[in-house]
Amino acid sequence: MSEEPRESLTGRTFHGRSLRGSRFVECDLTDVVVRGSELAGLELDSAWLFEGGQLLVNGVDVVPLVDAELNARFPGRELRGAADPVGMRTAWAAVEAAWAAVVQRATALPSGSVDVSVAGEWSFAQTLRHLVTATDCWLGKAVLEREQPFDPIGLPNDDGEGSAAFQHAEFTTSTPDFAEVLRVRAHRQGMVRDFLAEVTEANLAEQRRNPHALAHEETVLSCLHTIIEEEWEHLRYAVRDLDALAAPDSGRG
């Protein structure tokens, strides 16, 4: 799909227009109002849905309902807001257990499936590579304050190269062997596990610089929460795409 130049449509009214089959990627739809429109088959997906806003459907705020349903689908997700050392260790153990099951499912698919993109999204292997970068960024760089924490096998967001976090980082442009992706990914999971094994209440309250905005500070707890949020959101995406790959009409693209 071709990319259109960015254009602000703020404040516009669309009356009697057809947007059937349209796809909105990385758009700001805050406070958009839809009235008397056909919404059958409409799919919304936002990682920021649970950050204090509302999503009203026929006057009902569905955010708490969606949150509860995702917790039911992904046991352990409800622990992601833990705020003490024991709770954080339990929350991370749940993350690791959930991902272990999904990795096992992915590797049982036909050869090459882990490198297949569904509907233009990251492949399973690319998702794991991105989580390597997320750990390197928020644990390696932010919390541990390492000058160069990034493994080349990682995969930042498309707009990540301009971030202060990735200055001097070099990422591979080739497709790594999946076994190597799994090895690096396991090492980064172990880094989080080992850090949490020794962390104290005082450690969690310590201040660190936000790796993407160095003038802003975050607590160590906030940095760790970012890692855990990334883990659960991308696990959800991965399960969604594995379901598509396993379907008779896989929707590969």
How is the chain split into domains, by residue range?
Answer: 77-246
**What is the distance between the alpha carbons of residues 235 and 244, in angstroms, rounded to a whole number?**
14
Of the two residues 158 and 184, the one the predictor is more confident about is 184
129-178, pLDDT tens digit by residue? 999 999 999 999 999 999 999 999 999 987 544 577 888 899 999 999 99
Long-range contacts of 62-70 (CB under 8 A, 24+ apart): 70/236
Evaluate if residue 30 carries a pLDDT over 90: no
**In percent, how much of the chain has pLDDT > 70?**
94
210: pLDDT confidence band, cut at 50, 70 and 90? very high
Which tokens hold the place of 110?
């036909």
Helical ranges in 78-146 per DSSP H: 85-107, 124-135
Residues 94/78, Cβ–Cβ less than 8 Å: no
Of the two residues 135 and 21, the one the predictor is more confident about is 135
Evaluate if residue 180 carries a pLDDT over 70: yes
Residues 41-45, mean pLDDT to the nearest whole number: 84
Residue 207: beta bridge partners? Answer: 219
Helical ranges in the chain per DSSP H: 63-73, 85-107, 124-135, 178-198, 201-205, 220-246
3: pLDDT confidence band, cut at 50, 70 and 90? very low
**What is the distance between the alpha carbons of residues 83 and 224, in angstroms, rounded to a whole number?**
10
DSSP for 43-64?
Answer: ----TTTTSS---EETTEE-HH
CA distances from 28 to 7, 24, 48, 119 (A): 11, 9, 11, 21
pLDDT attached to residue 131: 98
pLDDT attached to residue 233: 96
**Is 208 strand, coil or helix?**
strand
- 77-246 adopts what CATH topology? Four Helix Bundle (Hemerythrin (Met), subunit A) (1.20.120)
pLDDT attached to residue 159: 58
**Is 98 strand, coil or helix?**
helix
pLDDT attached to residue 203: 98
